[in-house]
């Protein structure tokens, strides 16, 4: 699942996910609250969440999502390099941070091999 307030990135991320063998985009959300509602219905294995969103940022969205779906692998994304310590990513429960422009099939497979394939 892809969570981002920008439709162009949601479309691009879905295209990358669907182009990666063994992966399928099950849905997307444009806000944190919407993501939490959809996660209950869609039960995604992997969720990409934009760090910068109005209403509820990516860190809070990740924290709440993992609280209700601990089996879910969450990756934070942003156009900019993250200007916070790596602990900020893991404190909210996310497994990694990826710049949006670096999201491609090889990145997706690598993240899943490291953090999700054993589940």
Least Cα distance to 48 among 85, 5, 91 occurs for 5
Question: 109 in helix, strand or coil?
Answer: helix
Dump pLDDT digits (tens) for 46-82. 999 999 999 999 999 999 999 999 999 999 999 987 7
Dump pLDDT digits (tens) for 45-56. 999 999 999 999
Which percentage of the chain shows pLDDT scores above 90? Answer: 82
Which percentage of the chain shows pLDDT scores above 70? Answer: 94
Name the fold adopted by 2-113: Rossmann fold (3.40.50)
For the chain, the domains span 2-113
Token pair, residue 89, equals 């990513």
Query: What pLDDT does 88 receive?
Result: 74
């Amino acid at each position: 699942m892809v969570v981002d307030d920008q439709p162009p990135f949601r479309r691009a991320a879905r295209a990358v996910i669907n182009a990666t063998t063994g992966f399928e985009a099950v849905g997307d959300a444009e806000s944190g609250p919407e993501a939490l509602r959809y996660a209950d219905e869609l039960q995604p294995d992997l969720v990409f969440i934009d760090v910068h969103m109005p209403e509820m940022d990516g860190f809070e969205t990740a924290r709440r999502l993992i609280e209700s779906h601990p089996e879910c692998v969450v990756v934070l994304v942003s156009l900019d390099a993250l200007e916070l310590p790596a602990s900020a990513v893991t404190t909210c429960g996310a497994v990694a941070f990826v710049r949006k422009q670096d999201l491609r099939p090889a990145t997706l497979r690598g993240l899943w091999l490291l953090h999700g394939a054993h589940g």
